[in-house]
Amino acid sequence: MILINDFKAEPEELRVAELTAMERVLRSGWYVLGNELQTFEQAWARRCGVANAVGVGNGMDAIEIGLRGLDIGPGDEVITTPMTAFATVLAIIRAGAIPVLADIDPDTALLDPASVERCISSKTKAVLLVHLYGQVREMESWVAFCQRHGIVLLEDCAQAHLAQWNGKTAGSFGIFGAYSFYPTKNLGALGDGGALICEDTELAQRAAVLRNYGQSVRYQHPTLGLNSRLDELQAALLLTRLEWLEDFTERRRQIAGAYHAGIANSAVRLLAAPMQAHSHVHHLFVVLSRQRDRLAQHLKETGVQTLVHYPVPIHMQPPCIELHRDPNGLRSAEQHAAQCLSIPCHPQMSDADAAKVIESINAFK
């Protein structure tokens, strides 16, 4: 079976480096908020081209902490997409703010600016872009859009590690970028992890306080925070895995390139190809089909694992059916949810694996 992710197939050299990193932490006798975290935060900020990175417990907390650090909360509206992981919207709700859902562009599954425009109200404080599947696009337009409306741009980069638009990295366009290091992400820990990146050092300091119960110095709590810290073991593993990220991303691009060149079946549609060489990091490769479930079954029978990202758009989840949304509806997101299928696209795949996936899709009738 060609799997959606295959961590067991990762190179032995990486495994050895990870064991060395784990031993280093074990022998250090220091497990939370120490040197490994500091080193990783500096390395990640540098790679993202920003002044600050603050390691936190997971990607969802990175968004909540970022919003709270900006004082976006009760009474404030944050516009985002219904085609995302539930965590994106849950983080807005947990910050006490009001999510408002705009529709997507059917060719990319990313937020549609015209729909976002229809969602703007006097309460709107921010647009939270999600770089879905690993794509960043048209970032200057989004920056200008937010400036025009006097609102802030925020980025959910959980699926877009080091994706670049015109040479600038995901998360560096908005006031903050929120990263997840969940194991399946392009840069994944061996457990939960996340980080908030930002240029604004005061925001980073507030985030560092919020992640640690709202503690400024030991046993002084000027605010109510969370317990959301990236531990030393995960930080050390992330530092190790960071060395492999570029090569792994390049391999994802090769597989995705083979799919774009090779998939030809009138029953299957592809999303738009990347606009720039580095604007897509192919966290997921998604195809669309009106016969999605039959296609998934066919692939399974021919030895190809698939998943659906995401089968239920946020506004159709029971706790979210009342959420405010584009007055014209969210039809493109609903159609995408009914047709999308993620096929394997990960660094451990061989050329033969990619060829088999293509052959299997092209044989679907």
Ligand X SMILES: Cc1ncc(COP(=O)(O)O)c(C=O)c1O
Could you give phi then psi for residue 312, rounded to 5 degrees? -125, 110
Q: How far apart are CA 163 and CA 170, in angstroms?
A: 6
155 sits near ligand X (criterion: CB under 6 A) = no
Stretch that binds ligand X, among 81-89, 201-209, 246-254, 325-333 (CB under 6 A): 81-89
228 sits near ligand X (criterion: CB under 6 A) = no
Is the distance from CB of 2 to CB of 225 less than 8 angstroms?
no
Local structure of residue 126 (DSSP, 8 states): E
360 sits near ligand X (criterion: CB under 6 A) = no
Q: How far is the CB of 337 from ligand X (least distance, A)?
A: 15
Q: How far is the CB of 59 from ligand X (least distance, A)?
A: 3
The residue sitting closest to ligand X, measured at its beta carbon, is 59
Q: How far apart are CA 198 and CA 92, in angstroms?
A: 18
Residue among 186 and 332 whose Cβ is closer to ligand X: 186
Stretch that binds ligand X, among 35-43, 52-60, 99-107, 249-257 (CB under 6 A): 52-60
237 sits near ligand X (criterion: CB under 6 A) = no
99 sits near ligand X (criterion: CB under 6 A) = no
> 101, 76, 65: which is closest to 86 by C-alpha?
101
Tell which one of 50, 79, 85, 204 touches ligand X (CB under 6 A). 85
Residue among 58 and 234 whose Cβ is closer to ligand X: 58
Is the distance from CB of 52 to CB of 198 less than 8 angstroms?
yes
Residue among 198 and 361 whose Cβ is closer to ligand X: 198
Give the type of residue at 237. L
Q: How far apart are CA 192 and CA 190, in angstroms?
A: 7
Residue among 159 and 240 whose Cβ is closer to ligand X: 159
60 sits near ligand X (criterion: CB under 6 A) = yes
Beta partners for residue 100, in sequence order:
79, 324
- Bond prior to 133 in cis (omega within 30° of 0): no
Is the distance from CB of 222 to CB of 273 less than 8 angstroms?
no
Stretch that binds ligand X, among 154-162, 249-257, 261-269, 351-359 (CB under 6 A): 154-162
Q: How far is the CB of 35 from ligand X (least distance, A)?
A: 23
Is the distance from CB of 119 to CB of 258 less than 8 angstroms?
no
Return the SS3 of 62. Answer: helix
- Phi/psi region, residue 71 (left: phi>0; alpha: psi -120 to 50; beta: rest), is left
Is the distance from CB of 186 to CB of 170 less than 8 angstroms?
no
313 sits near ligand X (criterion: CB under 6 A) = no
Q: How far apart are CA 199 and CA 49, in angstroms?
A: 9
Residue among 72 and 358 whose Cβ is closer to ligand X: 72
For the chain, the helix, strand and coil percentages under 3-state DSSP, each to the nearest 5: 40, 15, 40
Tell which one of 77, 156, 231, 326 touches ligand X (CB under 6 A). 156
Q: How far is the CB of 233 from ligand X (least distance, A)?
A: 16
69 sits near ligand X (criterion: CB under 6 A) = no
Residue among 87 and 119 whose Cβ is closer to ligand X: 87
186 sits near ligand X (criterion: CB under 6 A) = no
Which H/E stretch holds residue 155?
strand 152-156
Binders of ligand X in range 107-146 (CB under 6 A): 130
Q: How far is the CB of 130 from ligand X (least distance, A)?
A: 5
Q: Which residues contact ligand X (rule: CB under 6 A)?
A: 58-60, 84-85, 87-88, 130, 156, 158-159, 180, 182, 192, 194
